Amino acid sequence: MHIPDGFLDPKTFSTAWVLGGTAVGFAVAKTKKHLGERQIPFMGVMAAFIFAAQMVNFPIAGGTSGHLIGAVLAAVMLGPWTASIIMATILVLQAFIFFDGGITALGANILNMAVIAPFAGYWAYQVLQRLLPGRAGTLVGAFAGSWISVVLAALACAVELAFSGMAPWRVVLPAMLSWHVLIGIGEGVITTAIVSYVTQVRPDLVYETAKA
């Protein structure tokens, strides 16, 4: 899902930089107020795990690639604001060190995977938790939230590419959504399995439990 350089026009990547940068700035401010000292090492562990998972890429038509995101997993464990910082940090490292995703497109990649994915997915997770109280709601919410986060991030990526005129709507939308509907299922399974394990052995590590 990383967009490389040359696939977004200036108006699109500039707008994405403003939106993504502003959102991450708010995330930093919010996280400073709520993050406890014991959560800082956990942030590093979570970032390392997601970083490694995201490095497994495969090409998709329309000039981009597909991979797991990990945004909802980070949000369930540490909250959406902290997840946004983790995801943005990962994307910056990937762009500057591994050249995975373009520098000019970094704002769009941050907007898609560090803003839209964690917040949309976490919102869905919370809604399903309220509708299905208890462990069932947590697991169903983790799965559905993960799937939604992948699909919406892919949709945002497709819209950016299409608005830039780099790929026609009829090519990029089906290419991105058809693949990421399936990728979202895989992400949901992995996220749910990890959340299920953590809620059994260390429920205090889950964000909603830890802040209660």
Q: Average pLDDT by consecutive 10-residue portion of the chain (212 residues)?
A: 90 96 93 71 88 72 66 94 95 91 95 97 95 91 96 94 87 86 90 93 75 47
What are φ and ψ of residue 7, in 5° steps? -105, -10
Query: pTM higher than 0.85, yes or no?
Result: yes
Residue 84 inside a domain? The answer is: yes
Q: What pLDDT is stored for residue 126 in this prediction?
A: 94
Residues 125/145, Cβ–Cβ less than 8 Å: yes
3-state helix, strand, coil in the chain (%, to 5): 75, 5, 20
Residue 4 inside a domain? The answer is: no
Residue 1 inside a domain? The answer is: no
Q: What pLDDT is stored for residue 59 in this prediction?
A: 63
Q: What pLDDT is stored for residue 212 in this prediction?
A: 43
What is the span of the domain harbouring residue 155? Answer: 10-211
Residue 33 inside a domain? The answer is: yes
Question: What residues contact residue 212 under an 8 Å CB cut-off, 6+ apart?
Answer: none
Tokens (6 digits) for 187: 């992400």
| Structural domains in the chain (count) | 1
The domain spanning residue 87 has which CATH number? Answer: 1.10.1760.20
Sole residue written with tokens 């869905």: 124
Residue 60 inside a domain? The answer is: yes
Encoded amino acid at 198, one letter: V
Sole residue written with tokens 């995801």: 87
Q: What pLDDT is stored for residue 55 in this prediction?
A: 72
Residue 113 inside a domain? The answer is: yes
Residue 201 inside a domain? The answer is: yes
**Alpha-carbon gap, residue 27 to 86, rounded angstroms:** 10
CB count in 10 Å sphere of residue 173 = 18
Residue 197 inside a domain? The answer is: yes
48 closest CA partner among 90, 1, 6: 90
